[in-house]
Amino acid sequence: MALNLSLRLSLAHLAYALLIFLYCSSSSSSSSAVDLLQGSTNPRRPMILPLYLSSSKTTSSSTSDRVVADQNRRQLRNSPPPPNARMRLYDDLLANGYYTTRLWIGTPPQEFALIVDTGSTVTYVPCSNCGHCGKHQDPRFQPELSSTYQPMKCSVSCNCDSNNVQCTYERRYAEMSSSSGVLGDDVLSFGNESQLVPQRAVFGCENMETGDLYTQRADGIMGLGRGRLSVMDQLVDKGVISDSFSLCYGGMDVGGGAMILGGISSPPDMVFTHSDPYRSPYYNIALKEILVAGKQLKLKPSVFDGRHGTVLDSGTTYAYLPKEAFLAFKSAVIKEIRSLKQIHGPDPNFNDICFSGAGREVSKLLEVFPQVDMVFNNGKKLSLSPENYLFRHTKVSGAYCLGIFQNGDDATTLLGGIVVRNTLVTYDRENDKIGFWKTNCSELWKSLHYIDPSTPSPLPPKSQSTNVSIPPTVASGGLPHAPAPGPDGLLHAVFPGEFQIGLITFDMSLSINNSYMKPNFTELAEFIAQELDVKASQVHLLSFNYKSNVSLFKWAIFPDESADYISNTTAMSIIQRLRGHRMQLPKKFGSYQLVELNVKPPVKPTWWKQNYWAVAVGTLVTLVLGLSIFGAFLIWRSRHRESSSYEPVNAAIPEKELQPLQTSPGLDGL
């Protein structure tokens, strides 16, 4: 009996493990955990995980951890709202296939560009001793240079390396791309706009990567999914943030956006829908129906509840509907835009549905294409603009293609980043709901002024980060002393605490393939500002020359209007990105090359500049007073001439009428 009971328990564990296996997947470069949903013909990839039965000791430890986590969550509910990590998003969904954020690891902090993925759990970056890692945006993580790094020692709760010394992780994908390495524990920093101070967390240090992971520009992945190794779960279990995060993707032709780890005050008109954490391993919503131009598609509500239901995935570029829903949606859209001509897509390998003649103005697309409404089970609806289901045709100006496709034979509805462009999406995990709010994501901080941090955490601390990579020419631009070569072969400069930076200038060349194309200076300045984490008003074009398909620009980065100088932290971040060629400009601008970089201290204002207003007012008063006195003098002089005028001798005078003489009465008789 004991043997039979043990066998039944083992079979039950195996069945449970197989069930978990069918649900677990994660993303790589431009994909995410929902890769498994679309079959082998789709570029999205499933994740294959090794499964192990937990011992009683492991189960006990896991239960204890969960109790502590639950206690932390209860404390969050009864205490003032904790701070949040406010972070910027970079890249463009359609151009790059993903959005990235900046994350700093270690002491002093080492910077990385990580793909934001709600379908993944593990956060990982290439390690310095990686035997097979590609060339990415930033240098590899060097554990030996971090004074706070600790390897995760082997235990029964993790997979161990061959020497049973350190915990490991592994992610494999259908097309044979993979990521594997060891797990480490170090300090994560979230940027200088974040209230949340640096926190310790477990992450993956890659020793091997293949396939798309090897060739992608981004350094790694930041996992925001549900799971013990997720950054969100770790921060929530520590009790440092509430169990919620928000993403806001930029609109068509804009890119970038914002991310907030932790709770925010939801806008009054934010639309919420239920998200069942037990429905699937992914973030799902309760979609009921879709309207096109106000007309309901003739579909049963159950069509959006097949397999995993309706899933939101930030690592997916486009949207994918079950066959029945896709055909109905396509027909409804075509019916509403009969005035446009249907044309072939930009890639002959795909049967894209495209239309020409709509014009290039995104703001006017709603005059041509219909509005689409997604209605949830609670009756609330999310209205989608054309930019939420279209992408530009890359070969025909003014043409657009449907960014919503059929999900093969899969019954899952998969909503990628295109659906939520210019939409703040709040993943309220504590209350099992997801909210949507249409907004301009590039202006999110102004719209949500009530989440502005009152005490931002500087990143990195001056005592921890003093190195910045710069070219030799910067030494002649006003630095306090010439940079010296660092241990990694790069040039570093140390900015003393008292040194203030008033201006950063850099020369760059752009190689434009189309000789007839002239760069849009304003648009280019906005992209540079976005890539350098500064305001567009701080970026100024000083000079421009064009020769042999190469455009030469001289740019200047000025302090913010509210500041007299650029902080050392911001300046070092700008210099690192420029020197490391980490700016990712749209392809239409061609490839760029940094020519020269200079840093100058603030110009000490002269007495005239310091007293500009006083001098101006004094000058104006003096001028008005002087004019008044001069005018009064002219009037007095004119009147004086009139009163003292005389006629010269023998001068001709006008004849006057003679008046009768008055006679005296005493002379009448004469």
Catalytic residues: 117, 313
Q: Which SS3 state, helix, strand or coil, does residue 646 take?
A: coil
**Residue 101: beta bridge partners?**
89, 114
Residue ranges of E strands in 393-490? 400-402, 404-406, 413-415, 423-428, 433-438, 484-485
The two beta strands, 178-189 and 100-105, are: antiparallel
3-class SS of residue 461: coil
The DSSP 8-state label assigned to residue 462 in this structure reads: T
116 in Cβ contact with 102 (< 8 Å) = no
| Cα 398 to Cα 400: distance, rounded to the nearest angstrom | 7
The rounded distance, in Å, linking the Cα atoms of 121 and 21 is: 15
Place of tokens 């993944």: 120
β-partners of residue 372 are 292, 384
Instruction: Report how far residue 417's alpha carbon sits from residue 408's, in angstroms, rounded to the nearest whole number.
Output: 19
Residue with tokens 């701080």: 538
Q: Where are the alpha helices (DSSP H) in 386-519?
A: 444-447
> Contact at 8 Å (CB) between 277 and 432?
yes
Residue 346: CB atoms within 10 A of its CB come to 16
CA–CA separation, 545 and 440 (whole Å)? 34
- Assign residue 355 a region: left if phi > 0, alpha if psi is -120 to 50, beta otherwise? beta
Rounded CA-CA distance 395/260 in Å is: 36
Query: Under a CB-based contact definition with an 8 Å cutoff, are residues 424 and 432 in contact?
Result: no
From CA 249, how far away is CA 425, in angstroms rounded?
9
Q: Residue 42 is encoded by which pair of tokens?
A: 């789709």
Give the end-to-end CA distance of the chain in Å, rounded to a whole number.
177
Q: Which two tokens stand for residue 114?
A: 């990580």
Q: What Cα–Cα distance (Å) separates residue 267 from each residue in 333, 438, 569?
A: 31, 10, 32
Q: What is the DSSP letter of 469?
A: B
Q: Find all residues with CB under 8 Å of 277, minimum gap 6, and list them.
A: 226, 429, 432
Q: Note the residue count of the chain.
A: 670
The angle formed by the CA atoms of residues 450, 257 and 558, to the nearest 5 degrees, is 85
In Å, the largest CA–CA distance within the chain is: 177
Token output for 307: 């397999």
The answer to whether residues 139 and 125 touch, using CB atoms and an 8 Å cutoff, is: no
Strand partners of residue 550: 511, 547
Cβ within 8 Å of residue 198, ≥6 positions away: 104, 109, 187, 188, 189, 190, 457, 459
Q: Is 149 helix (H, G, I), strand (E, B) or coil?
A: coil
